[in-house]
Amino acid sequence: MEHAPAMIVGLPDMMHALRQESRRIMAENKGDYVAEHMAILGRLTAAGLVTGKEAATLLDLYKLGFDAGEPKGDARKAYFETRDVYAKMLATEGTSPVALVVASAALGSFEVSEGDDGSTTVSIARVSYGQSLAGIGAGIGSLIGGPAGGVLGGAIGGLLGGMVDDKKGKK
């Protein structure tokens, strides 16, 4: 079995960079979560990791999840809409792997659970960080290892964002 120690050694650095970049983007946008996500997608587009059309779709997914997390939002409806968009992205030839990892983080921001009575409950954090941190991680990871690094960084960012969401609690 072949090992790639450079990637293993680089993970703590990538995680640190992801936290620093997250703080910078949040401070720059003064609590406007949609503007934060637009800044993230702008960087991914400028780096050639996602197309403008993919960035627009990812922003729509972010807004869908954001609205679903509001007190009067419909998490169940948003989950199924997000799942449909993600499925279309998966089925579209040439979709950027970085766009796919960010979209999968959007879908992963929802939690689907089955009740004892067979009912299904869908929930999402009021403001989910999974998709945003996946985008930041993808941008940083691409600096280290191109598109493949972007996918790895996006997965790490999405995981960290999901952990933040779990700590904050779901709606």
Provide the whole-model pTM: 0.79
> pLDDT (tens digit, 9 = 90+) per residue, 58-83?
999 999 998 998 889 999 999 999 99
pLDDT exceeding 70 applies to what percent of the chain?
82
What DSSP designation does 49 have?
S
The reported pLDDT for the residue numbered 5 is: 43
Report the distance separating Cα 128 and Cα 117, nearest Å: 28
Give 102-165 as a DSSP string: HHHHHHHTEEEEE-TTS-EEEEEBSS--HHHHHHHHHHHHHHHHHHHHHHHHHHHHHHHHHHHH
The domain total for the chain is 1
Residues 6+ apart with CB under 8 A from 21: 136, 139, 140
- Domain with 34, as residue range(s), is 5-168
